[in-house]
Amino acid sequence: MHRETMRAALDAAREPWDVLVIGGGATGLGCALESVTRGMRTVLVEQRDFASGTSSRSTKLFHGGVRYLRGGHFHMVAQSLKARADARATAHALVHDTAFLVPVHSAWERFYYSTGLRIYDLLARDHVTPRSRVVSRNEALQLAPTLRPDGLHGGVIYHDYQFDDSRFALELARAAVARGAVVLNNAPVTALLYEGERVAGAIVRDSEHGDEIQVRSRVVVNAAGVYADSIRRLRSASVTPLLRFSRGAHIALERSFLPGDTAILVPRTDDDRVAFMIPWRGRVLVGTTDVAVDEPSHEPHATLEEIDYLLEHAARYLTRAPSRADVRSAFAGLRPLPAVEGRSANVLRDHRVEILDGMVTICGGKWTTYRLMAKDAIDAAGREGGIAEHPAHPEAILAGPPESNRRLEANLLGGNSLTPGDAREVTRLVREEMARTVEDVLARRTRVLFLDAKCAAQSARAIAEAMALALGRDSTWIDSQMRSFVALAKSYLPL
């Protein structure tokens, strides 16, 4: 997956492509893999980096959504649980089973949550994932030794799957390329192309080369996440919006706040949602919030109010109350929600496929259902483009990154300088995973920015220097990368 090779393939391609996908998040990459697997000639363009939008800022769970049980949305939970099983089967190396403890403080609560989670088990129809079970107060405290014991009656354990969202996205991209798709980052769509009234491609700017490319295709799939309406407006400024947006923030705390492998589900927050405290790569992730926002943005920030909200909820359950000084990183993402009335927390994370003058827009949904969304979108794309399918490849089984990737992240988090092996890994990330900036390496090829923003800022120069060698860049590039990354890292620690 070399960027120059991808660009050359785009220039040399016989047109039209079958499918042009706009957007390199979970949805777009899922679509590209689905379409190329069905034998369609596929190209995907991403305006910044793969998963740089919402898809790197999730809670990192393949889950059925236990909270939807409360509203009785069994069909949707069952659908997501099926998608969860699908992800486990096709990306075994990238997902892992995690036990969640729901602390209960009365016999009634124990009955209520154990019944709900039994329904969750039944809906999963899954013989692999461990079933939920009631645990005593003692066992709850053994599993989560830092759980506050006062008033604790016991708990209910259930299971979902954790994954690294941006890594999963990169592996989708790699699998699509391995099957013959072309994927290009730093390549925003600036206008659509038409044949008569029909959308028949797009004008793409190559931000690295500074030129424009016309990409003609039988069908365009708009998977631009929170920017899906912006793409639709390129066709017609007066289209009715499909989406609205809600910001969700997470904080990363030292692991000592929740040692062990068991995550905690906070079953009811002040604003009547659920929250999670999840062990993740040597930290504890606490999330999320739900704040309506009017406009999409590339780099939403967690506010101090959101950070305090998460700290307060964590403090109610943990023996040692975390403070602002304990936050190692705070990140936020925007949920692309259907533009329907009602509180965003109550809006179902369902997806929607719309056709506008031949362009297929796929939006909403969640990471868990990325493949279901891709199937629906590519079914529609095949119909709209009149594309015959030639199932070219068996189902993709996603592999994980080499061990050198985890070692690089661990060394950076440990404050160590780059080893020769680390420098080689940075070169690999540039040559094989299309990393172009320090942010690409520290935010998404490794997760240092999300785990420890200060550490990420301190690592920036070493990474910039190693990248400069691989990319043939000079000291001016290194300095400008340093400046922009350090400013970004500060916004992940607004304390």
Per CB under 6 A, the list member of 48, 110, 313, 371 interacting with ligand FAD is 48
Structure tokens at 420: 């020769």
Residue from 279, 365, 382, 385 touching ligand FAD (CB under 6 A): that is 365
Question: Is 103 one of the binding residues for ligand FAD (CB under 6 A)?
Answer: no
CB under 6 A: which stretch of 48-56, 145-153, 384-392, 483-491 binds ligand FAD?
A: 48-56
CB 223, min distance to ligand FAD, A? 6
Applying the rule CB under 6 A, the residues between 368 and 387 that interact with ligand FAD are 368
Q: Mask: binding to ligand FAD, 230-249, rule CB under 6 A, as x and -?
A: -x----------------x-
CB 124 within 8 A of CB 64: yes
Considering beta carbons, is residue 139 or 379 the nearer one to ligand FAD? 379
Structure tokens at 475: 């000291």
Closest CA to 182 of 365, 342, 41: 41
Alpha carbon 403 to its chain centroid, in Å, reads 21
**Residue closer to ligand FAD (CB basis): 135 or 161:** 161
Quick check: 189 binds ligand FAD (CB under 6 A)?
A: yes
Binding-site member from 155, 336, 338, 382 for ligand FAD (CB under 6 A): 336
| Region binding ligand FAD by CB under 6 A among candidate stretches 138-146, 332-340, 381-389, 450-458 | 332-340
* Least distance to ligand FAD, CB of residue 222, Å: 9
The 10 Å Cβ neighbour count of residue 210 is 7
Considering the complex, state which of residue 228 and residue 318 has its C-beta at the smaller distance from ligand FAD: 228
Structure tokens at 446: 């490794």
Q: What is the CB neighbour count within 10 angstroms for residue 141? A: 19
Q: Could you tell me which stretch among 88-96, 331-339, 393-401, 462-470 binds ligand FAD (CB under 6 A)?
A: 331-339
Give 454: exposed, middle or buried? Use CB within 10 Å, 0-12, 13-18, 19+.
middle
84/328 with CB nearer ligand FAD: 84
Q: Which of 35, 37, 42, 58 binds ligand FAD (CB under 6 A)?
A: 58
Which residue, chain included where needed, has tokens 């899954």? 126
Residues in Cβ contact with 385 at an 8 Å cutoff, skipping those fewer than 6 apart: 18, 19, 217, 218, 219, 358
Query: Minimum distance from CB of 297 to ligand FAD (Å)?
Result: 11
> Minimum distance between the CB of residue 79 and ligand FAD, rounded to whole angstroms?
12
Phi and psi at residue 282, to the nearest 5°: 80, 5
The HSE-up count of residue 133 (CA atoms within 13 Å, CB side) is: 9
26 binds ligand FAD (CB under 6 A): yes
Query: Using the 8-state DSSP alphabet, how is residue 132 labeled?
Result: P
Where residue 288 falls (left for φ over 0; alpha for ψ -120 to 50; beta otherwise) is: beta
Residue with Cβ nearer ligand FAD (278 or 468): 278
Q: Is 262 exposed, middle or buried (0-12, 13-18, 19+ CB in 10 A)?
A: buried
Choose, by CB under 6 A, the member of 3, 21, 23, 382 that binds ligand FAD: 23
Q: Applying CB under 6 A, which of residues 184, 220, 224, 360 lies at the interface with ligand FAD?
A: 224
Q: Which residue of this chain has its Cβ atom nearest to ligand FAD in the complex?
A: 25
C-alpha distance from residue 161 to each of 117, 333, 408, 450 (Å): 15, 20, 24, 19
Closest approach of Cβ 205 to ligand FAD, in Å?
A: 9
Q: Is 322 in the site for ligand FAD (CB under 6 A)?
A: no
Alpha carbons within 13 angstroms on the beta-carbon side of residue 180 total 16
The CA distance from 394 to 47, in Å, is 29
Kindly state whether residue 225 participates in binding ligand FAD, applying the rule CB under 6 A. yes
Among the listed residues 54, 79, 329, 459, the single contact to ligand FAD using CB under 6 A: 54
- Shortest distance, CB of residue 114 to ligand FAD, whole angstroms? 23
> Which of 283, 366, 436, 444 touches ligand FAD by CB under 6 A?
366
Q: Give the sign of the dihedral formed by CA 405, CA 406, CA 409, CA 410.
A: negative
Contact present, 207 and 366 (Cβ < 8 Å): no
* CB distance 101 to 144 below 8 Å: yes
Chain residues binding ligand FAD by CB under 6 A are 22-28, 45-48, 52-55, 57-61, 63, 188-189, 223-227, 231, 248, 288, 333-336, 365-368
